[in-house]
């Protein structure tokens, strides 16, 4: 496996994080929704469903879509065109079979395979901590969002043992985990990347952001 050194989000740890994620989630794909990881991800999906108001007929991109369950849940309340992106080809193949009403694409959050200004809303549910360079993802999110488009991030929150948790995943994680960010770190990343925060909430182990792309 090729070793890639990411100097920013990964704090100089030499790992190919995307390859680790791809391998792990390829293996998990068909059983993901029944796994412990799938169980935990459900909390983030339900929080998004409760809090996100989608505009009518929006074009929505779910980055880190896994089996596509979030798009299906949102479709119970909204009408929109949904596309899911995941690093795992096994995930996207399984998702496409499960939910043929949406489109699923295999690709990297570091280089989104879409045209400029393609989407009204971009969602990232419990996957931001997998991105090797968060600044690169946010730059790509800005690129593919339309003017005034909305970025939605629901991410892990570990308020007490934050440093210990990051030390653990740095040493032991084989799932492509890079770093869990604090609320202030995420807010600063969004603002530096040119997003205007419209919602920022903390709820138990979830931190939730909605931000508009500056015109």
Mind listing the domains of the chain with CATH numbers? 17-213 (3.40.50.150)
Helix pair 89-98, 17-28: axis angle to 10 deg: 40
For residue range 159-205, list pLDDT tens digits in order. Answer: 888 999 899 898 888 889 999 999 999 999 999 999 999 999 999 99
What pTM does this model have?
A: 0.92
Q: Classify 203 as helix, strand or coil.
A: strand
For residue range 102-158, list pLDDT tens digits in order. Answer: 999 999 999 999 999 999 999 999 999 999 999 999 999 999 999 999 999 999 999
CA distance 132 to 120: 25
Rg (CA), the chain: 16
Quick check: 97 pLDDT over 90?
A: yes
* pLDDT band at 17; cut points 50, 70, 90: very high
Average pLDDT over residues 11-29: 84
Share of the chain above pLDDT 70, in %: 93
Residue with tokens 């799932």: 175
Q: What are phi and psi of 119, to 5 degrees?
A: -130, 150
pLDDT at 40: 94
pLDDT at 172: 87
pLDDT at 14: 67
Beta pairing, strands 206-213 & 195-203 = antiparallel
Q: What are phi and psi of 165, to 5 degrees?
A: -65, -45
Other C-beta atoms lying within 10 Å of the C-beta of residue 155: 20
Share of the chain above pLDDT 90, in %: 85
């Amino acid at each position: 496996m090729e070793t890639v050194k990411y100097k920013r989000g990964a704090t100089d740890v030499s790992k190919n994080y995307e390859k680790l994620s791809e391998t792990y989630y390829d293996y998990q794909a068909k059983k993901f929704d029944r796994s412990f990881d799938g169980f935990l991800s459900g909390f983030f999906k339900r929080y998004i469903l409760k809090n996100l108001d989608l505009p009518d007929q929006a074009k929505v991109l779910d980055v880190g879509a896994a089996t596509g369950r979030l798009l299906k849940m949102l479709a119970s309340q909204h009408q929109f065109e949904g596309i899911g992106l995941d690093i795992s080809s096994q995930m996207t193949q399984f998702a496409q079979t499960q939910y043929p009403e949406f489109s699923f694409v295999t690709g990297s959050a570091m280089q989104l395979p879409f045209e400029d200004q393609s989407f009204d809303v971009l969602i990232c549910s419990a996957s931001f901590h997998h991105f090797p360079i968060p600044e690169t993802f946010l730059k790509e999110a800005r690129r593919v969002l339309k003017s005034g488009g909305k970025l939605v991030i629901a991410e892990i929150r570990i308020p007490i043992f934050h440093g210990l948790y990051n030390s653990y995943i740095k040493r032991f994680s084989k799932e492509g985990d890079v770093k869990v960010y604090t609320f202030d770190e995420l807010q600063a990343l969004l603002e530096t990347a040119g997003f205007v925060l419209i919602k920022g909430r903390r709820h138990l182990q979830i931190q939730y952001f909605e931000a508009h792309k500056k015109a």
